[in-house]
Chains A and B, each alone.
Chain A
Amino acid sequence: MSENKHIEAQDQENSAMQARGEPESVMLPPVDIYEDANGFTLLADLPGVTRERLNIQVDGNDLTIEGEAAIDMPENMDALYADVASTRYQRRFTLSSELATDDIRAEMKDGVLTLRMPKRAELQPRKIEVSAG
């Protein structure tokens, strides 16, 4: 289930940073990915990230999701108890060339990002009409 040639998560770099305890490390948002006949849908949990603070980039076959959670922390105030170590999210994926990267659509709602990635038109199922002879 974790291995998929269409959308491959590139998490190594980030895990390595976290293992070294680097303060600048970012959080990997959890994602769900599912496939249907026409393409793929990716859902990512990015609580606290608004549309303005979300950055989705496609460079060739590389998909990068970046977001920053807005914390309206007043000056000179310290968090008493912080489970969330960082407020920056980032995750990279490698997409297969079967996906129509120009047609990726994104929607952000209640801290959940939905990315719709259609397969290339020539790879989508087509119904072929049988003409009456």
Chain B
Amino acid sequence: MSMIRYNPWDIFDAVERAFVPQGVQNSAEKPANWVPVVDIREEEDKFVISADIPGVKPDDIDIQTENKVLTLKGERNIENKEEKEGYIRRERISGSFERSFRLPDVADLENIEAKYENGELHITVPKRKEAAARKIEVKH
């Protein structure tokens, strides 16, 4: 297994560029407090976006697509009144989060699925059938 850091100057990055995060878009809305970190991987028939969102109920995660931009957002509230008094260390992030991705043309927007497991959100974006890799015979 090898992990490759995103490199905007790579000339072979057509698909990667398609996945560049869009940041917070709606200036009318209150900006998000934090941005979840993600891994994105490509498989033959799909892309998988994995976001670290520990300690959030699946119902509190909202995933939408609009104009080929996928936005995941939600709220993580870890504040608890009883606990508030005695804090001696607070590093865990709380509040609203948001992150958007521009999906590549091959993305099948109708069949996107999401699963929450062990604090990670996995969004599966299938590729459209006609866009899947095909072997082309060379006639001779």
Residues of B within 8 A of A21 (CB): none
- The chain B residue sitting closest to A6, CB to CB, is B88
Residues of A within 8 A of B52 (CB): 45, 47-48, 84, 111
What is the CB-to-nearest-CB distance from B110 to chain A, in angstroms, rounded to a whole number?
A: 22
What is the CB-to-nearest-CB distance from A119 to chain B, in angstroms, rounded to a whole number?
A: 12
Let me know if B39 and A43 touch, CB within 8 A.
no
Q: How far, in angstroms, from A118 to B118 measured CA to CA in the complex?
A: 26
Let me know if B54 and A36 touch, CB within 8 A.
no
Q: How far, in angstroms, from A41 to B86 measured CA to CA in the complex?
A: 10
What is the CB-to-nearest-CB distance from B119 to chain A, in angstroms, rounded to a whole number?
A: 2
What is the CB-to-nearest-CB distance from A132 to chain B, in angstroms, rounded to a whole number?
A: 35
- The chain A residue sitting closest to B116, CB to CB, is A110
Let me know if A71 and B54 touch, CB within 8 A.
no
Let me know if B87 and A34 touch, CB within 8 A.
yes
- The chain B residue sitting closest to A83, CB to CB, is B37
A80 at the interface (CB under 8 A from B): yes
What is the CB-to-nearest-CB distance from B139 to chain A, in angstroms, rounded to a whole number?
A: 29
Total residue contacts A-B, CB cutoff 8 A:
130
Let me know if B3 and A82 touch, CB within 8 A.
yes
Q: How far, in angstroms, from A111 to B85 measured CA to CA in the complex?
A: 24
Known: A46-B54, A81-B19, A110-B56. A30 touches B120 (CB 8 A): no
Residues of B within 8 A of A112 (CB): 54-55, 119
Let me know if B41 and A47 touch, CB within 8 A.
no
Let me know if B92 and A47 touch, CB within 8 A.
no
Let me know if A111 and B54 touch, CB within 8 A.
yes
A17-54 contacts to B (CB < 8 Å): 30-36, 40-41, 43-50
B29 at the interface (CB under 8 A from A): no
Let me know if B89 and A32 touch, CB within 8 A.
yes
Q: Which of A7, A35, A79 neighbours the largest number of chain B CB atoms within 10 Å of its CB? A: A79
Could you jot down 24 A-B contacts, CB within 8 Å? A4-B88, A30-B92, A32-B78, A32-B92, A33-B87, A34-B85, A34-B86, A35-B86, A36-B83, A45-B55, A46-B119, A47-B53, A49-B118, A50-B118, A71-B50, A78-B3, A80-B4, A80-B16, A81-B6, A83-B38, A83-B39, A85-B3, A111-B120, A112-B119
